[in-house]
Structure 1
Amino acid sequence: MKKSLLLIFTILLPLFNFSQDLSVTQKVTDDSDELNTAKIVIDVQGGQAPYQYFWSEKSVDTKTSVINGATEGKEYSVKVVDANGKEKELTFEVPTNSVPESMSAAFAPVVGFMDTYFFFDPFHAIGLYDNRVKDENGVVLKNPNGTDRTIKVPFMVIWLILGALFFTLRFRFINFRGIKHSLDLVRGKYDDPEAIGEVTHFQALATAVSGTVGLGNIAGVAVAVATGGPGATFWLILAGLLGMSSKFVECTLGVKYRTLEEDGTISGGPMEYLKKGFAERGFKGVGKGLSFVYAVIIMLAAFAAGSMFQANQATAQLSSVLGVGGIAKTFIGIGIAVIVGIVIIGGLKGIAKVTEKVVPSMAALYILMCVIVIGANITEVGSAFSLIIDGAFNPQAIYGGFLGVLVLGFQRAAFSNEAGLGSASIAHSAAKTKHPVSEGFVALLEPFIDTVVVCTLTALVLIFTGTYQGEEATGSALTAVAFGKVIPGASIFLTIAIFLFAFSTILTWSYYGVQAAQSIFGETKLVTNIFKIVFLLTVVLGASIGLGAVIDFADMMFLTLAIPNLIGLYMMSGSVAKDLKAYMAKVKSGEIAKTK
């Protein structure tokens, strides 16, 4: 009898929940001053095992109670659910221990605000599509933390691509029919030594290209292809081709509305054409407002994206190869700042003399490396291009479906070639020419070089070698793995390329920043010198510390340039169309003739 009662009690015991109340606590440790080195451990007492952990971080699995590499200053939440359905939720913030951690934490709310209001998905917001990612059977895919996997079509990407498409149609595919004439201009066949300006067509192109061809061509493309698959390459190329038309319009306007200063230097770019162009149309106040907003944004972008980010990534790559860290990074930053300082003392002419030599050299080095890798895997050419086409129009659900792949390709192109942002028009405004449209032709080559050539080659290297999948490395490290499969010591050559890319970008953005500062505070030597000193200090700062959310802020600030700029381009596109028609008539009649 006793045995029977004991057996019944044993069977019924689990039905009565005598377990302790669920108790959940967190322990956060961080033994380093570097970013993203904190460790979170969740301790669960009571309840009924096994437990599930539903984290706020999409990438953390529901079986995981520990996060390594947590971000300092960031708020985390976790909901613990036991086997009986009892749940307990914790929300906490990882404390900061150093200046870099505090700085990153300070920028995080700003990044969140910009993401909400400038990078929202308007199509999903008004219910035009279901943003959940589904497999071929219609089943919604899940993130590791158990939430639905979704895609996002950011407003800024739509804004840029629609602008590029509009200008391509408005100017009857100038991005294709204008290439031959643009090459003649770059080769100096129409150079006029008596024309107003500081630099030649080629120097202006080299300077602007040095500002666009950078780390995004190496690290950014690797992220796009690894995340969106080979199909992202197709949309990246298409976005680059469309962006050529945006460049044509903004750089034509840059020369048309430029100002010749008393000392012979040129002031141009969106700060000038927004102000003067709107004034011509009776909207002086609007133009001044847009010009001021643009100047503030691009000056901040010069510090964050053009200086700190470039110095940070170049130093990280160099210190990794050399096996150094700590104070050595500061000395590397000082070295970069000294070299940059020597060059920018000479203004745009000094920058142009360097970029016209550095840009062809770094491009040739990188393209040669890509060609070697592709050549070694030439037997994969058929399958590689098949993956690109199939991946573009019939992508796997794991890559986010058709819309997810398309957005990744478009977004990477927008980040890389700056078409529609107006920044390149600042450099092109100083070109020696009597005809604004001629510089528009020169500028349309930039997205072709940056995106259609360099970005595409990076993508092909990853696809031909199969490195885009199954590797733990990300960004430039993933690209290095791909090169390393064919070229011995590839990391050294890639480090040289990355350093040159970053160095030339810093040079160009120093000039953009100076022009913005002068537009805001006045065109005086004091303003110029103060900006250059602060800019060089940010180079050292960027090289010395981790940036965290500062990088996200730089990216977002960078793309918001498109808001005031594209408003101006739409408004003034009619006058550019008239100028183009008049210019081409003069070329055909021989009034504008080749000089060589």
Structure 2
Amino acid sequence: MFLSLQNQSLDEQIDTQFGNATEWFTDAILAQIPITESVGLPWVLIVLILGATYFTSYFKLINFREFFTAIRVAKGNYDNLESGGLVSVSNMVSTIDGDQPDTIRVEGKVEGEVSHFQALTAAVSATVGLGNIAGVAIALSIGGPGATFWMVLAGLLGMSSKFVECTLGVKYREVDENGTIYGGPMYYLKKGLKEKGFDKLGKVLAILFAIMCIGGSFGGGNMFQANQAFKLFEYVTGGEASFLSGQGWLFGLVMAIAVGVVIIGGIKKIAKVTDKVVPVMVVVYILAVLTILGINFSKIPSAFAAIWDGAFSPEGIGGGFVGVLIQGFKRAAFSNEAGIGSSSIAHSAVKTSYPASEGLVALLEPFIDTVLVCTMTALVLIITGSVDTSVVLSNEEGVILTATALESGISWFPYLLSVAVILFAFSSMISWSYYGYQSWSYLFGRKKSTAYTYKIIFCIFTIIGSAATLNAVVDFSDAMVFAMMVPNMIGLFLLRKKVLEELKKYKDLIKGKL
């Protein structure tokens, strides 16, 4: 074995060692329930979809009823109502300098680190990523145009799950003596379940989530992003003839340095970057897509017809519904991460006294990510004739197919896409580094030394991700993200009534009853 490693390039050695180290874990987590001879459904996906459907029903279609309220909150229309607002205080938490963390932020002013818009962009930067580009192409290669219908449906349902977890993230967050926010599933699992009388269960679930979130930050939030960015960059600079061919580690090193410069500053620095980068990268990508749609405007009605017809064909239902969930939502942490719990970490840092206000803002994420961006990508692929269901794309081919579809409209669009992809990857990585660090600090403490240790390891995994083959990276990433869902969904179900109370409180505030 040692001699064989000596004969491999650095990229190949990294890939071999990484694949061997993670194979047993991915096999255990990604166990599938067979649907057809060739298609299997990971059991955890069933939990995600059933959970999203249940929350949509329990909160009486909140994803539709409160959609425009969510937009107004994100715009800051109700910020003047925050003064003097109250946050339910748990008597189960420890004190900081003799005060309860929950009360520190509402004494004299509304505490928090970022605005509603910044919290949204920080979270969207992690969700709107390469799953919207590569994942959609792969999903359509399996399910045909009809896959788009099921993708949108799953995104709409996911809005309800996102509302629940982000409301809880704010409700049970903690604030240290410096005003730094700590929140996410680790805290609402531990504190919330203790209030329900499940003290030991809450502690175990919180620890499990934190471990898996750290792994997810290294995998789907880091290695996958760096890997896809390198693959497209290599493609547009000449493919195998590129000066970086076989030198993924070098690309990863540059990305690691860029990421490291940002993440040292914490959520405030991250938010300042994402509230500028996210709008730019989304606008760049959407303008490119809209240009193609504009050139082929007459074909749009037939594309929608193909989506509708294909959604209810055997190919669309088997390959589309299952294929999208497996091949589409698995990309970049299930595309919108609804039910995973990760986004609630970013939303916890918002400046608000009413947890439900941020839960409402958060439900916009799956809409932006899946309903808008993924649908636009799908339309371009369908209109340009890039969808070929006779050939199932590999992970590497997904992003390249989208680049080819854009190239059919304007020859230099792949270069524009490569810039957008690098920005997508960069923003996702810095946001996921925050998620991972929050989990790391929950397990190992909030000292500066532990923070720097995590951030150094995170940057090392950026280099590994660029060098490893995508299949190894994707399997590891999927397994970690799937695993995060298990403790999180248990907590969301058990704490759903707390969320309902917070929603009523905030709606009463808007109506002038408080």
Instruction: Specify the TM-score bucket, using the shorter chain as the normaliser.
Output: 0.7 to 0.9
C-alpha distance in 2, partners of 1:402/1:319?
A: 35
Larger helix proportion of the pair = 2
Q: Which residue of 2 aligns with 1:492?
A: 415
CA distance in 1, matches of 2:7, 2:262: 40
Instruction: Report the equivalent of 2:466.
Output: 543
Number of residue pairs matched by the alignment = 471
2:492 pairs with 1:572: no
Answer yes or no: is the 8 Å Cα contact 2:25–2:479 preserved in 1.
no
Give the drift of 1:300.
Answer: 0.9
Change (3 A) 1:154 1:329: closer
The answer to whether the aligner puts 1:430 opposite 2:349 as a matched pair is yes
User: 1:402 matched to which residue of 2?
Assistant: 317
Is the Cα–Cα contact under 8 Å of residues 260 and 267 in structure 1 kept in the other structure? yes
Query: Is the aligned partner of 1:209 residue 2:124?
Result: yes
What's the CA shift string for 1:74-125, capped at 9, x where partnerless? xxxxxxxxxxxxxxxxxxxxxxx73422321332233222223xxx32xx6x
- Where do 5+ consecutive residues of structure 1 fail to align? 1-27, 36-96, 125-130, 133-148, 592-596
Query: Does residue 86 of structure 2 align to residue 163 of structure 1?
Result: no
Aligned partner letter, 1:255: V
Equivalent in the alignment of 1:284: 199
Equivalent residue for 1:582?
A: 505
- Structure 2 CA distance for aligned equivalents of residues 540 and 402 of structure 1: 39
1:353-411, CA deviations, whole angstroms, 9 ceiling, x for partnerless residues?
Answer: 0000000000011111111111111211222111111111124xxx3x62332212334
1:309 paired residue number: 224
Deviation of residue 189 (structure 1)?
Answer: 1.7
| AA partner of residue 379 (structure 1) | S
Distance in 2 separating the partners of 1:162 and 1:433: 30
Question: Does the CA-based 8 Å contact 1:214-1:502 persist in structure 2?
Answer: yes
1:346 & 1:538 partners in 2: Cα distance? 19
Task: Verify the 8 A CA contact 1:240 1:413 in the aligned structure 2.
Answer: no
Match of 1:353 in 2: 272
In the alignment, residue 54 of structure 2 is paired with which amino acid? Answer: F
Match of 2:212 among 270, 276, 297: 297
Corresponding residue SS for 2:150: helix
Separation (CA, whole Å) in 2 of partners of 1:329 and 1:157: 32
SS at the partner of 1:324? coil
State the Cα distance separating 1:32 from its structure 2 match: 6.2
Which residue of structure 2 lines up, in the alignment, with residue 104 of structure 1?
19
Name 2:74's counterpart in structure 1. 186
In structure 1, distance between residues paired with 2:174 and 2:204:
19
Residues 471 and 377 from structure 1, CA distance in 2 versus in 1: closer, same or farther, beyond 3 angstroms? farther
Letter in 2 for 1:237: V
Matched residues in 2 for 1:114 and 1:157: separation?
11
Cα drift, residue 471 of structure 1: 7.3
Equivalent position amino acid for 2:210 in 1? A
Partner Cα distance (1:408, 1:426) in 2: 29
What secondary structure, in the 3-state scheme, does the structure 2 residue paired with 1:417 have?
coil
Contact map agreement 2:125 2:274 (CA 8 A) in 1:
yes
Structure 2: which 5+ residue stretches go unaligned?
84-108
1:341 lines up with 2:256 in the alignment: no
Q: What does 1:33-72 align with in structure 2 at a 5 Å threshold?
A: 33=9
Three-state SS of the structure 1 residue aligned to 2:429 is helix
Relative to structure 1, the CA distance from residue 103 to residue 328 in structure 2 (aligned partners, 3 Å threshold; closer, same or farther) is: closer
- Counterpart of 1:259 in structure 2 is 174
Return the letter of the residue paired with 2:186. M
Structure 2 letter corresponding to 1:111: T
d(CA) in 1 for partners of 2:512 and 2:14? Answer: 64
Q: Which amino acid aligns with 2:311?
A: A
Contact persistence 1:413–1:451 (CA under 8 A): no
Equivalent residue, structure 1, for 2:64: 176
What is the alpha-carbon distance in structure 1 between the residues aligned to residue 154 and residue 415 of structure 2?
Answer: 31
Quote the Cα distance in structure 1 between the aligned partners of 2:319 and 2:51.
Answer: 20
When residues 547 and 466 of structure 1 are mapped into structure 2, their CA distance, relative to the original with a 3 A threshold, is closer
Instruction: Pick closer, same or farther for the CA change 1:291–1:113 going to 2, 3 Å.
Output: same
Partner SS state of residue 414, structure 2: helix
Question: In angstroms, what is the RMSD of aligned CA positions?
Answer: 2.1
Tell me, yes or no, if the aligned pair for 2:143 and 2:318 is still in contact at 8 Å.
no
Q: Distance in 1 between matches of 2:361 and 2:338?
A: 14
Query: For residue 181 of structure 1, what is the amino acid of its counterpart?
Result: T
Q: Is residue 227 of structure 1 aligned with residue 142 of structure 2?
A: yes
Rounded to whole Å, the distance in 2 between the matches of 1:471 and 1:408 is 14
Distance 1:263 1:179 in 2: 35
Does structure 2 retain, via aligned residues, the 8 Å contact 1:34–1:101? no
Q: Tell me, yes or no, if the aligned pair for 1:195 and 1:433 is still in contact at 8 Å.
A: yes
CA contact (8 A) 1:161 1:410 kept: no
Q: In 2, Cα distance between the equivalents of 1:222 and 1:574?
A: 39
Change (3 A) 1:434 1:463: same
Partners of 2:495 and 2:197 in 1: CA distance: 13
1:416 and 1:452 mapped to 2: Cα distance? 11
Whole-Å separation in 1 of the counterparts to 2:152 and 2:24: 34
- Report the Cα offset of residue 214 of structure 1: 0.8
Shift of 1:230: 0.6
Of the three residues 403, 427, 439, the one matched with 1:480 is 403
For residues 553-564 of structure 1, the aligned pairs below 5 Å read 553-564=476-487
Report the TM-score, using the length of structure 1 for normalisation: 0.76
3-state secondary structure, aligned to 1:386: helix
2:456 is the counterpart of 1:456: no
Query: Is 1:388 matched with 2:307?
Result: yes
- 2:511 is paired with a residue of what secondary structure? helix
In structure 2, distance between residues paired with 1:344 and 1:410: 31
**Candidates 423, 432, 435, aligned match of 1:512:** 435
Q: How far apart are 1:153 and its partner, in Å? A: 2.8
Using CA pairs under 8 Å that are at least 6 residues apart, name the structure with larger relative contact order, 1 or 2. Answer: 2
Match of residue 103 from structure 2: none
CA distance in 2 between counterparts of 1:471 and 1:375 reads 28
Once residues 38 and 471 of structure 2 are traced to their aligned partners in structure 1, the CA distance between those partners, rounded to angstroms, is 24
The superposition leaves residues 202-228 of structure 1 with CA deviations (integer Å, 9 ceiling, x where unpaired) of 000000000111111100110001111
CA distance in 1, matches of 2:455, 2:255: 14
Quick one: structure 1 residues 34 and 150, their matched pair in 2 at CA, closer, same or farther if it must change by over 3 Å? farther
Give 1:178 deviation, angstroms: 1.0
SS at match of 1:153: strand
SS of residue in 1 equivalent to 2:77 = coil
Separation in 1 of the partners of 2:7 and 2:264?
42
How far apart are residue 327 of structure 1 and its match? 7.2
Question: 2:473, 2:303 → 1: CA distance?
Answer: 36
Q: Is the 8 A contact 2:56 2:157 kept in 1?
A: yes
Tell me the amino acid that sits aligned with residue 436 of structure 2: G
Rg comparison, structure with higher value = 1
Following superposition, the deviation at residue 328 of structure 1 comes to 4.8
Q: Which moved more, 1:504-513 or 1:322-331?
A: 322-331
Measured in 2, the distance between the counterparts of 1:325 and 1:503 equals 19
Q: More strand per residue: 1 or 2?
A: 1
The percentage of counterpart residues that share the same residue type is: 47
Residues 278 and 471 of structure 1: CA distance in aligned 2, closer, same or farther (over 3 Å):
closer
